[in-house]
Chains A and B, each alone.
Chain A
Amino acid sequence: MCIAVPAEILEIRDGNVALVDYGELQQEVRIDLVDVKVGEFVLVHVGFAIQRLSREEGLETRELFKEVYKAMEEADHA
């Protein structure tokens, strides 16, 4: 449950919701906790953006997080 993954804001929708991009996957997340614009990066945790990130950080870290969490998920279904 503690996953926090960088994502890019693609589109801001009604009701504090934004469409974000994780790289391969797109998803709606809540943006109640941050003030963001399209094109900015955020850290997403349990369906909420919890903090803004710089663009470089977002791109760089995304790969690593993917790896670590994929390993965890695989172990879970093994």
Chain B
Amino acid sequence: MTLGTDIAQKLSEVVDTDIRIMHVCGTHEAAIAKYGVRSVIPPQMKIVMGPGCPVCITPQGEIDAACELAERGCIVCTYGDLLRVPGSKTSLEHVKGDVRIVQGITKAVEIARQNPDKEVVFISVGFETTVPTVAATLITNPPENFSILVSHRLVPPAMKWLMEQGEADLHGFILPGHVCAVMGYHEYEQFKVPQVVAGFEPEDILLALLMLAEQIKNGEAKVENAYPRVVTYEGNVKAQNLMKEVFTPSDVEWRGFPVIPESGLALKPEFEAYDAQKKFDLVYEKITKKDGCICDRVLRGLADPSDCKLFGKACTPRVPVGPCMVSHEGACRIWYQYQQKR
């Protein structure tokens, strides 16, 4: 595939200083690695990844809680990606119990209807892209034996936290196309830093990089949209309203991060009956285990997967040590997959 040669050419003309751009989306990392985007951009430009995958940023305590539910006899329904993510003791793949892979919440509700004498819990992870699907389901009165373990996270609060730390020394952000498809991009105007919404074709990403480089060169800091085919300024308002009807922001921990204010979601009181954490009195343990995994630094844009001593050695997709090697959207997994081929 001819990789946006014109754009790459233009990019090399515009970039004349060291620039670090962060993306916050696992699908972007997958596209960047697959098409070798890093090899066609000027050497001064570095693309680092942020906390872009909802699986990678789910803290171990929440994985442990999901495993506990299975051990206590619930039918646990989860996206396949979460299966191998290691908790502190075991994973959903290895725990003793009834764990079922579902494509989405609709199937989990169906399972609850078919098993009225069992408790069925859906492990509800995902960013703003996914949240409305959960909200839309909860307002349709799922059965009483159904509940969800709420593990949702929101992108802007994490970006805000990262910028406040200033540790990753970032000059701009590629904004996540599908999060913005739902949310629009007005929220991001609070950040006084160059930002461009990008799609998932290599040309989309290169175009976004070029727009960022131009903003940086001109000393501007605005939010631009390089993915107008899908993303509008307002986003999907119907979906946003449903989210607000069902959820309210809450302070939560991210794997590799401390508690970030208002970066998660909690069910509103009217929907509390569906909250598995309350229903089963689950306590999320804060776990800081030392196993050499540097996912926390990778998720903050401070290290590359290949900086990890375990990368490709003790840690592979088959025997993952950290979550970033598990998920399709995980940085280590993606690097492992594509560097093997090169």
Interface: B192 (CB within 8 A)? no
Contact code string B19-31 (vs A, CB < 8 Å = 1, else 0): 0000000110011
Q: CB-CB < 8 A to B64: which residues of A?
A: none
Q: Is the CB of A50 within 8 A of B181?
A: yes
Q: CB-CB < 8 A to A32: which residues of B?
A: 136, 140, 242
Q: CB-CB < 8 A to B106: which residues of A?
A: 30, 47-48
Least Cβ–Cβ distance between B95 and chain A, in angstroms: 19
Q: Is the CB of A68 within 8 A of B236?
A: no
What range describes how many residues of A lie at the interface? Answer: 20 to 34
Q: Is the CB of A72 within 8 A of B181?
A: no
A interface majority secondary structure: mixed
Q: CB-CB < 8 A to A11: which residues of B?
A: none
Q: CB-CB < 8 A to B87: which residues of A?
A: none
Interface: B301 (CB within 8 A)? no
**Alpha-carbon distance A4/B177, docked complex (angstroms):** 10
Contact code string B216-247 (vs A, CB < 8 Å = 1, else 0): 00000000000001100001101100100000
Task: Tell me whether A33 and B178 are in contact in the complex, defined as CB-CB below 8 angstroms, given that A48-B133, A57-B229, A68-B31 are known contacts.
Answer: no
Interface: A35 (CB within 8 A)? yes
**Alpha-carbon distance A44/B53, docked complex (angstroms):** 18
Cross-interface CB contact of A1 among B126, B140, B182, B229, cutoff 8 Å? B126
Task: Tell me whether A53 and B230 are in contact in the complex, defined as CB-CB below 8 angstroms, given that A1-B79, A33-B133, A75-B337 are known contacts.
Answer: yes
Q: CB-CB < 8 A to A76: which residues of B?
A: 317, 328
Task: Tell me whether A51 and B200 are in contact in the complex, defined as CB-CB below 8 angstroms, given that A1-B79, A30-B136, A32-B136 are known contacts.
Answer: no
Q: Is the CB of A71 within 8 A of B133?
A: no
Q: Is the CB of A2 within 8 A of B133?
A: no
Number of A-B contacts (CB under 8 A): 101
Q: CB-CB < 8 A to A51: which residues of B?
A: 181-182, 230, 235-236, 239
Closest B residue to A50 by CB, please name it.
B182
Q: Is the CB of B104 within 8 A of A46?
A: yes
Q: CB-CB < 8 A to B125: which residues of A?
A: 1
Cross-interface CB contact of B133 among A30, A57, A61, A64, cutoff 8 Å? A30
Interface: B80 (CB within 8 A)? yes
Q: CB-CB < 8 A to A30: which residues of B?
A: 106, 133, 136
Cross-interface CB contact of B178 among A35, A45, A47, A64, cutoff 8 Å? A45
Cross-interface CB contact of B238 among A2, A33, A43, A72, cutoff 8 Å? A33
Contact code string A1-33 (vs B, CB < 8 Å = 1, else 0): 110100000000000000000000000001011
Q: Which of B79, B129, B200 has the most CB of A within 10 A?
A: B129
Least Cβ–Cβ distance between B220 and chain A, in angstroms: 28
Q: CB-CB < 8 A to A34: which residues of B?
A: 236, 238-239
Q: CB-CB < 8 A to B136: which residues of A?
A: 30, 32-33, 48
9 pairs of A and B residues whose beta carbons are closest in the complex: A46-B104, A47-B104, A1-B79, A32-B136, A57-B229, A48-B133, A33-B239, A51-B181, A72-B328
